Amino acid sequence: MNERADMVVIGGGPAGAAAAITAARSGARVIVVDQAEYGRDKICGDGLTPRAVAALGELNIGIEAAHRIEGLRMIAGSVQRELPWPSGGRFPSYGAVWPRKRLDAALIDVAGEAGADLRWSTPGTPRLNADNRVIGVSTPSGDIDAEVVVVATGAPGAVARLLGAGRVRDEPFGLAIRAYVESPRHSDRHLEACLTLKDRNGIAVPGYGWMFPAGDGTVNIGVGALSTMKNFKSLNLNTLLDDYRALVADSWEVGPFLERPRAWRLPMSTMRRSGPGWVAIGDAAGLVNPMNGEGIDYGLESGMLAAQLFIEDAASVSQRYDALIGERFDSFLRTGRRFAFLIGHPWILRPGLRVAVGTQAIANITLQVMGNLVDSDSPGASGRVLRAADWALGVADPVLRRTRAAA
Ligand SMILES: Cc1cc2nc3c(=O)[nH]c(=O)nc-3n(C[C@H](O)[C@H](O)[C@H](O)COP(=O)(O)OP(=O)(O)OC[C@H]3O[C@@H](n4cnc5c(N)ncnc54)[C@H](O)[C@@H]3O)c2cc1C
């Protein structure tokens, strides 16, 4: 007879861990399978916005082990603005940098303490019955039956293909590369983002270069770009990172890369995020903010939501999850994807950036809108900007797609 669990989670990253913690704490029998070994690293910038810190707080996880961050230093050409995180709303006024090797281990350890059964070096594949309902997971050591399978496998791969949950072909996605360097400024309290990157052909890159200080002697350095960029297919992320490193070499007194830079995908759409017997969360559900590349928070939030709905009523989890995650994120993410098409045009990107960082007040709004930090209870000026952008981008969307800059 097959082994049996209430919930099987495929993937033990932040999304899978959040689902496992929430379900296991309520007494559900949860099994997490991950194909990697315990302590795996994830290619990431390691940056946590106040929204992500709030999500960790909901899981009762503090950020004492991380490096606390007070705001963002936004750089556009010769303009530099230090922006504190917004305060007084529903998110804390601080963020953090928490290297993923440590963050992910901390999260999955909490899942284990809550009672989840963690199985490393164990690839999982959803098992479907004749009605195309997911009824459990196959692993090399046997099959597990489950009431629900939570797909938390990160950027879509084999599992997503099996479930028809790949990315939507004509929607944008991101690619980013990161490394670590030593710097005397490793305990700086600001994330730094340079918004005016250019490739070696002088084409403006919709994306940014980052220096995210980890407080442990190292800084996470990286660059990311959106697929809406002209000549995206020929963009060489390694050269872009080398050029960015040269740009910050003096101000950060950086040493050589401590490891080979590594790149990975940022999924920003999905064909489906649930079906009979399964739900997808985090990157597997295309939940990455197109405006800043943030995905950890969306993984945590979607993981918690999926598990809460499962606890309430296992039979209807798929439909309710799809509706509620849509209510929470769809409008924002759709605006973000439209924004990605907009800034793919270099002739819009450059003047747009000048406006976005034009004054301290406008730059603060830019930070709140792009970071999805608008407080829905008291949206204020940034809420009005977001609503206006939503409307304007909706009107412009067909034209922006037709004239997309990407080759
Ligand atoms: C270069 C780069 C920089 C980034 N910077 C930031 C940042 O600063 N802040 C931020 O918030 N986000 C950032 N992101 C996005 C962020 O890394 C992701 O959104 C986040 O990791 C998503 O978490 P997840 O749990 O959904 O997936 P993942 O963290 O990718 O975890 C998926 C897990 O599933 C496992 N798995 C996959 N397939 C199987 C299978 N078949 N069976 C068993 N296990 C499987 C994998 O081993 C992995 O452990 C960045 C991304 C990139 C590429």
What tens digit of pLDDT does each residue of 58-77 get? 999 999 999 999 999 999 98
Around ligand 1, the residues with Cβ closer than 6 Å are 10-16, 33-36, 40, 42-47, 52, 123-124, 152-154, 157, 159, 176-178, 222, 264, 266, 282-284, 288, 293-297, 299
For residue 105 the two structure tokens come to 């281990």
CA-nearest residue for atom 27, ligand 1, is 154
Helix (H, G, I), strand (E, B) or coil at 249: helix
Helix (H, G, I), strand (E, B) or coil at 214: coil
Name the phi and psi angles at 361, rounded to 5. -65, -45
Angstrom distance (rounded) from CA 403 to CA 398: 9
For the whole model, what pTM was predicted? Answer: 0.96
Helix (H, G, I), strand (E, B) or coil at 360: helix
CA-nearest residue for atom 39, ligand 1, is 153
Q: Ligand 1, closest atom to CA 298?
A: 19
Give me the domains of the chain, ranges plus CATH numbers. 3-70+91-169+268-332 (3.50.50.60)
Q: What is the pLDDT of residues 342-398, one digit of tens each?
A: 888 887 888 888 888 888 888 888 888 888 888 776 677 777 877 887 788 787 878
Q: What is the pLDDT of residue 241?
A: 97
Burial of 260 (0-12, 13-18, 19+ CB in 10 A): exposed
Residue 322 has pLDDT above 60, yes or no: yes
CA of 16 to the centre of ligand 1 (A): 10
Q: Ligand 1, closest atom to CA 42?
A: 29
Residue 43 has pLDDT above 70, yes or no: yes
The residue-averaged pLDDT of 8-22 equals 98
Q: Residue 104's closest CA among 4, 21, 207, 28?
A: 21
Residue 188 has pLDDT above 60, yes or no: yes
CA of 10 to the centre of ligand 1 (A): 12
The residue-averaged pLDDT of 227-239 equals 92
Q: What is the pLDDT of residue 136?
A: 98
The residue-averaged pLDDT of 263-287 equals 97
Burial of 350 (0-12, 13-18, 19+ CB in 10 A): middle
CA of 295 to the centre of ligand 1 (A): 8
Q: Indicate the helix (H) or strand (E) that contains 127.
A: strand 125-128
Sole residue written with tokens 């005397």: 184
Q: Ligand 1, closest atom to CA 158?
A: 41
First CA to last CA distance, the chain: 54
Q: Residue 322's closest CA among 193, 187, 165?
A: 165
